[in-house]
A and B are shown apart, each in its own frame.
Chain A
Amino acid sequence: MTTVAVQTRIELLAGRGWTAVCDLDLLLPGRGVAVLLPDGRQAAVFRDARDRIHATANRDPFTGAYVLSRGLLGSTADGRVYVASPLLKHRFDLETGECLDDESVRIPVYAVRLAEV
């Protein structure tokens, strides 16, 4: 008998197509990783405590540094999940990209899907 190991892969919608990013296993709940997209842009991909996957731009608009993937995740009292930039701790909603500390700022978010391979 043979067993087939099923791996779950994360894919991200960048430009017109889905780009395979990495295996789900590589992500720790509550943390993110950085991804280099085909056009040279950088995305940050996160796995939250409920195992949902989110993706945003990796660039912290307040400092210009590409560091959001290294921030800690949190959730607000009304359940919005966000990442806090490790530099100056601005928080960004992972669903909408909105900055929770400054309404006028928003970062790009990407659609994600899981594929079994």
Chain B
Amino acid sequence: MNTSPMTTPKPTLLLVGYGMVGHRFLEALADAGAADRYRVVVLAEEPRPAYDRVALTSYFSGRSPEDLLLAEEGFTDKHGYELHLSSPAVAVDRAAKTVTTAAGHTIGYDTLVLATGSYPFVPPVDGKDAEGCFVYRTIEDLQAIERYAAGARVGAVVGGGLLGLEAAGALRGLGLETHVVEFAPRLMPVQVDEGGGEALRRTIEEMGVVVHTGVGTKAVEVSQDGTAVGMQFTDGSRLDTELVVFSAGVRPRDQLARDCGLTVGERGGIAVDEFCLTSDPNVFAIGECAMAVDGRVYGLVAPGYEMAQTVARQLAAQSAQPFTGADLSTKLKLLGVDVASFGDAFATTPGALDVVYSDSRAGVYKKLVVTSEGALLGGILVGDAEAYASLRPLAGTGKPLPVPAESLVLPAGLAAPVSLGGSALPDDAVVCNCHNVTKGQVRAAVTEHSCTTVPEVKTCTKAGSGCGSCLKLLGSIVSEELEASGVEVDKGLCPCFAYTRAELYEIVRVKRIATHRELLAKHGRVGQDAEGCEVCKPTVGSIIASLAPELEASGHILDGEQAALQDTNDHFLANLQKNGSYSVVPRIPGGEITPDKLIVIGEVARDFGLYTKITGGQRIDLFGASVDQLPQIWSRLVAAGFESGHAYGKSLRTVKSCVGSTWCRYGVQDSVGMAILLELRYRGLRSPHKLKSAVSGCARECAEARGKDFGVIATSNGWNLYVGGNGGATPRHADLLAQDLDDEQLIRLIDRFLMFYIRTADRLERTSTWLERIEGGLDHVRDVVVHDSLGIAADLEELMSHHVDDYQDEWAATLADPERLARFVSFVNAPGVPDPSIRFTPERDQIKPDLVLLATEEELLAALDPDNDPDNARVAARATASILEDAR
């Protein structure tokens, strides 16, 4: 018998509020496989889908609102979610089970989930609504601050907590004289104690932010025309300021719930039980708008994520973890200062003892709270929060620390360096706080899901994809686990060397080894007369080339043993194409070229019958040259003043530019001039992978500099330097490394950045992947490159200046040397005879490789038969005719 299909329509699930927690809820619902059990409707007040509010401030360092979005494209469509942007809910009718939007639409629901977040609290002082007063919560808030700051000189932030300091950093970045006003006697009163607050204050004041603690704001002074002009404080003092940001805490957005009679907490927050159910069994509340069973409203994203998970699993009819409260541990970087606080940071546990290290000059403060038995309860770290990731999971476990607490707070150098790897942690210790992932789950990812790298574990468990503070710990757990399960973690470059590229670089540099053969014999892991391989030869070749001046080796890559190490592209100083022919790219610095030179390129291409195409890097690529033709082509190009474009090398390709202030009405700096300067400085620099760059003349970014390994964007005060960008298969926007640099500062930083990359990157690792892989990421690179934290900046600059002094055009040098030239023949036993397999057929008035010819050897031999000469070989014949003529 047939059963009739279910005819009941799907129940409606209505989500009000599409912020971070709302989005997580939608993800969790889909992950639990329940997205299609409901008609899911989402009402969002903001004009865009959920974005990363935690990273909001990165808007000021160049992340666009689109970069900040949380969902990948097509997320809502994929799961059939109906999303209504700019549609705030204004009323809930619980009896009728409907919600009304501001536009007057009414939507029925079976289940309602409230995820309305919080709003910034603005103290009720006079003048708080004046023009020039802002809050700091949404992208629109930041855009408004950005616009207003352009015409202001001084800015003040009310509130010296987490958000206040972030806002202060942003104002300072916008070029304002910045003040922070905190009512409590110290900064970040919720997270740190007096000592920590003091260390923080010193460092922040050194950065030029003026800190006022222990004073309240009495009023904002307003001018005749309604704009803010100053502030008055409770101690009678005042301050001239045109811009005020209120950051005095947040309050849960529970108005909707209050109005429909749901129970709310005394101090706000929609009251929920441990399964996030409100006083109405059809209504849930999650995230910052909810008051959990422990009576607290959590102003952090991680507890909100847990709540989202709890509700999603219930709606998917799966077992759900109750949410009873959360760990308030945090680690942040505020204005470049590490601040972490975890567990019982204020030593409120009876009998708790603390171990403190404080160096207020260096701005470092570390406190660990322990029991009398030596078990860790919590701690506060300011200025150096390295140990946070490994200490936080141990807090509250009751187990004594494996080493004395003192050794964990002393700075490296004062005591034997101690760091706790992953091995000290129990399996149930939460390693990633953002996504609540335990060490056990990370281990399982390795043992059961055969992940072998941190990025794999990240995708598999989500660990490390939040704030990223646990990445290092994650790395050590993964390697420990791999080692334990007998998987050899081979970091070696190739079967011949057990070292990474970066290690080989150091060996070559320190031991001054100038040949691959010697390096292989002394430091290889294979027998005496091993050959090496196609991986280590070019890699070592490139290391030696980039250190050539230091090694007093020849800088020319076709000299001595170097010639045997190069990939065919480098060997013939041209790019091998699919039919065995080569392409030629002359350097056109900055993409600027005279008409005469352009004509020479055209003539050369015409005379040699080359296919001609404009590249994405503002140059011209000439295709279809045979080995024999290369020297002839280049002798004409060199005579006209061209030099090698290094399109064949793992080296600097181009520095693209827009037309800049010389012609463009928007331009603020001469981008072409700078691009040419940079291209000429770094041309020929051998690196782990190719390097691309661009310079834009203003923030409109026509040169797409943020898609480059190093990109420069003009500002009215100089240049902003971005690093680690990439186009291609895995696009990545470059990160801001430093801003408002003058020419000299810009070049100095690029010198250091490039040399640091060359020194530490893996083989074929672009700057984008390097930046993501290297320990400490962008912050570490900035420390080294900008703040010289390793004390190597002078070395790096010197290496670059040697490169610049040592540069010679590879093609000019090759043409001048008969021995090097002798290699440019198709056949050693028949110099001057062109390679018959390289033939072309016409397409759109140019040539393309004749691949039919390559299909079988017989066809080639047949084609060679004079009686058989096919029509389409004529184009090639014309191209090769000129060689034969020259050969005669």
Interface string of A49-65 (1 = CB under 8 A from B): 11000000001000111
**CA of A49 to CA of B518, assembled, Å:** 12
A74 vs B565: C-alpha distance in the bound complex, in angstroms? Answer: 11
**Roughly how many angstroms separate A36 CA and B861 CA in the complex, as a whole number?**
12
Interface residue tally of chain B, by bracket?
35 or more
Q: Are A31 and B564 in contact (CB under 8 A)?
A: yes
Given A29-B564, A42-B837, also A65-B578 (CB < 8 A): yes
**Once the chains bind, are B531 and A35 in contact (CB under 8 Å)?**
no
1/0 contact string of A1-38 vs chain B (CB within 8 Å): 00000000000000000011110001011110111100
Cβ-defined contact, B857 with A21, below 8 A: no
Contacts of A65 in B (CB 8 A): 578-580, 837, 854
B828–A66 touching, CB < 8 Å:
no
A104 to nearest B CB, angstroms? 17
CB within 8 Å for A64 and B533 given contacts A87-B576, A87-B578: no
In the complex, what residues of A have CB within 8 A of residue B826's CB?
34, 36
Interface string of B761-792 (1 = CB under 8 A from A): 00000000000000000000000000000000
Tell me the bound Cα distance from A66 to B838 in angstroms: 9
Q: Give the CA-CA distance A75 to B561 in the complex, in Å.
A: 17
Q: Which of B518-551 contact A (CB under 8 A)?
A: 526-527, 529-535, 537-538
Contact call B531/A64, Cβ cutoff below 8 A? no
A29 to B517, CA, bound (A): 11
B531 A30 Cβ-Cβ under 8 A:
yes
| B563 engages A31 (CB within 8 Å) | yes
B730 at the interface (CB under 8 A from A): no
In-complex Cβ contact of B537 among A28, A30, A89 (8 A): A30
Chain B residue nearest in CB terms to A65: B580
Min Cβ gap A83→B in Å is: 9
Once A34-B828, A49-B517 are accepted as A-B contacts, the answer to whether A70 and B529 lie under 8 Å apart by CB is: no
Decide if B828 touches A86 in the complex (CB within 8 Å): no
B569 — which chain A residues lie within 8 A by C-beta? 86
Could you say which residues of chain B place their CB within 8 Å of the CB of A70? 568, 571-572, 576
Write the nearest CB–CB distance from A87 to chain B, whole angstroms.
Answer: 7
B residues less than 8 Å from A87 (CB atoms): 576, 578
Q: Quick check: is A99 within 8 A (CB to CB) of the other chain?
A: no
Known A31-B563, A84-B534; judge A77-B526 contact (CB<8 A): yes
User: A41 an interface residue at 8 Å Cβ cutoff?
Assistant: yes
A76 to B527, CA, bound (A): 10
Instruction: Tell me if A93 is interfacial: C-beta within 8 Å of chain B.
Output: no
Q: Bits for B817-845, please: 1 = Cβ < 8 Å to A, else 0.
A: 00000100011111001011110000000
- CA of A28 to CA of B578, assembled, Å: 25
Q: Is the CB of B833 within 8 A of A81?
A: no
**B828 pairs with A21, CB closer than 8 A:** yes
Alpha-carbon distance A42/B854, docked complex (angstroms): 13
A72-B829 contact given A31-B563, A40-B836, A63-B578, CB 8 Å threshold: no
Whether A81 contacts B837 by the Cβ 8 Å rule is no
Task: Give complex CA distance A59, B835 in Å.
Answer: 12
Residue of B whose beta carbon sits closest to that of A59? B857
Assess whether A73 is interfacial by the CB under 8 Å rule.
yes
Q: Are B534 and A40 in contact (CB under 8 A)?
A: no
Decide yes or no: A75 and B580 within 8 Å by CB, A31-B564, A34-B827, A36-B833 being known contacts: no
Contact of A41 among B529, B534, B861 (CB under 8 A): B861
CA distance A21 to B564 in the complex (A): 20
Q: How far is the CB of A65 from chain B (nearest CB, A)?
A: 4
- Asked if residues A30 and B565 are in contact (CB atoms below 8 Å), the reply is yes
Instruction: Indicate the member of A41, A71, A72, A74 with the most B CB atoms within 10 Å.
Output: A72
Assembled-state Cα–Cα distance A45/B283 (Å): 79
Q: Verify if A67 is at the interface (C-beta below 8 Å from B).
A: yes
Are A79 and B534 neighbours in the complex by a CB distance under 8 Å? no
B851 part of interface (Cβ distance < 8 Å):
yes
Residue numbers in A under 8 Å from B534 (CB-CB): 71-72, 74, 84, 89, 91
Q: Is B414 an interface residue (CB 8 A)?
A: no
Quick check: is B355 within 8 A (CB to CB) of the other chain? no
Q: How far is the CA of A21 from the CA of B568 in the complex (A)?
A: 22
Residues B828 and A22 in contact, CB atoms below 8 Å apart: yes
Which of A35, A40, A48 touches B828 (beta carbons < 8 Å)?
A: A35
Q: Complex Cα distance A67/B532, Å?
A: 20
| Residues of chain B with a CB closer than 8 A to A26's CB | 822, 828
A75→B520 CA distance, assembly (Å): 12
Which B561-590 residues sit within 8 Å CB-CB of chain A?
Answer: 561, 563-565, 567-569, 571-572, 576, 578-580
Provide the bound-state CA to CA distance between A67 and B580, in Å.
6
Nearest A residue to B530, CB-CB = A75
Q: Does B884 contact A (CB under 8 A)?
A: no
Whether A49 lies near B532 (C-beta < 8 A) is: yes
Alpha-carbon distance A45/B860, docked complex (angstroms): 21
Q: Which residues of B contact A49 (CB under 8 A)?
A: 517, 529-532
Kindly state whether residue B640 has any CB partner on chain A within 8 Å: no
Q: Are B529 and A66 in contact (CB under 8 A)?
A: no
Q: How distant is the Cα of A39 from the Cα of B860 in the complex, in angstroms?
A: 12
Nearest-neighbor residue (CB-CB) of B536 within chain A: A74
Instruction: Please give, as numbers and ranges, the residues of chain A lying within 8 Å of B426 by CB-CB distance.
Output: none
Q: Does B260 contact A (CB under 8 A)?
A: no
Q: Is the CB of A63 within 8 A of B854?
A: yes
A20 / chain B contacts, CB cutoff of 8 Å: 829
Distance in Å from the Cβ of A2 to the closest Cβ of chain B?
27
What is the chain A residue whose CB lies nearest that of B826? Answer: A34
Taking A40-B861, A71-B534 as contacts, is the C-beta distance between A64 and B568 under 8 angstroms?
no
CA distance A75 to B830 in the complex (A): 30
- In the complex, which residue of chain A has the Cβ closest to the Cβ of B569? A86
In the complex formed, the residue of A with least CB distance to B862 is A40
Residues of A within 8 A of B835 (CB): 34, 42, 66
Say whether B855 faces chain A, with CB atoms less than 8 Å apart.
yes
B537 contacts A75, C-beta separation under 8 Å: no
Q: Which parts of B377-416 form the interface with A (CB within 8 Å)?
A: none
Q: For the complex, is B495 an interface residue (Cβ under 8 Å from A)?
A: yes
Q: Are A86's CB and B564's CB within 8 A?
A: no
In the bound complex, CA of A48 to CA of B270 (Å): 77
Of all chain A residues, the one with the shortest Cβ separation from B864 is A40
Residue pair A79, B527 in contact (C-beta under 8 Å): yes
Contact of A71 among B568, B578, B838 (CB under 8 A): B568
Contacts of B538 in A (CB 8 A): 72
Smallest CB separation, A113 vs chain B (Å) = 15
Q: How far is the CB of B121 from chain A (nearest CB, A)?
A: 62
Docked-complex contact A73 and B531, CB < 8 angstroms:
yes
Q: How far is the CA of A63 from the CA of B534 in the complex (A)?
A: 18
B205-233: which residues lie under 8 A (CB-CB) from chain A? none
Q: How far is the CA of A48 from the CA of B530 in the complex (A)?
A: 10
| Docked pose: A74 CA to B529 CA in angstroms | 11
Q: How far is the CB of B608 from chain A (nearest CB, A)?
A: 20
Q: For residue B857, which residue of chain A has the nearest CB? A: A59
State whether A64 touches B854 (Cβ < 8 A).
Answer: yes
Q: How many angstroms from the CA of A21 to the CA of B828 in the assembled complex?
A: 7
Q: Which residues of A contact B578 (CB under 8 A)?
A: 63, 65, 87
CB of B841 to closest CB in A, whole Å: 15
Residue of B534, B829, B837, B857 with highest tally of chain A CB at under 10 A: B829
Complex contacts, A86 vs chain B, CB 8 Å: 567-569, 576
Give A84 Cβ to nearest chain B Cβ, in Å: 4
How far is B563's CA from A26's CA once the two chains are assembled, in angstroms?
13
Min Cβ gap A88→B in Å is: 10
Q: Is B529 a contact of A22 with CB atoms below 8 Å? A: no
Q: Is the CB of B857 within 8 A of A41?
A: yes
Interchain CB contact under 8 A, A76 and B827:
no
With A28-B564, A74-B531 known, 13 other A-B pairs at CB within 8 A are A22-B829, A29-B564, A30-B532, A31-B563, A50-B529, A65-B854, A66-B580, A66-B838, A70-B571, A72-B538, A76-B495, A84-B534, A87-B578
Closest 3 CB pairs of A and B: A64-B854, A74-B533, A75-B531
Please report A residues at the B interface, Cβ cutoff 8 Å. 19-22, 26, 28-31, 33-36, 39-42, 45, 48-50, 59, 63-67, 70-77, 79, 81, 84, 86-87, 89, 91
The 12 sampled A-B contact pairs (Cβ below 8 Å) are A21-B829, A29-B564, A36-B829, A36-B833, A39-B861, A40-B861, A49-B517, A49-B530, A66-B837, A67-B576, A75-B532, A87-B578
